[in-house]
Amino acid sequence: MNGSGYAGLRMKAERQEQEKQQEASPQGGCSESIHIS
């Protein structure tokens, strides 16, 4: 159970946190998201 499934959940959580941070600070957040994706 701690294989790729766990890693996937972690990546999902990190992505959600990044989105929240971008919403909190729109300055430069959008450009950063485009770079990441």
Angle at the Cα of 15 from the Cα atoms of 35 and 12, rounded to 5 degrees:
135
> pLDDT tens digits for 1-37?
556 788 888 899 999 998 887 776 666 555 555 555 4
Domain around 18: 4-36
pLDDT at 22: 74
pTM: 0.45
pLDDT at 15: 92
pLDDT at 12: 92
pLDDT at 13: 92
Cα distances (angstroms) measured from residue 25 to each of 1, 3, 7, 16, 20: 36, 34, 27, 14, 9
Question: Looking at the 3D structure of the chain, how many domains does it have?
Answer: 1
- Per-residue burial over 16-29, b = 16 or more CB atoms within 10 Å of its CB, e = otherwise: eeeeeebeeeeeee
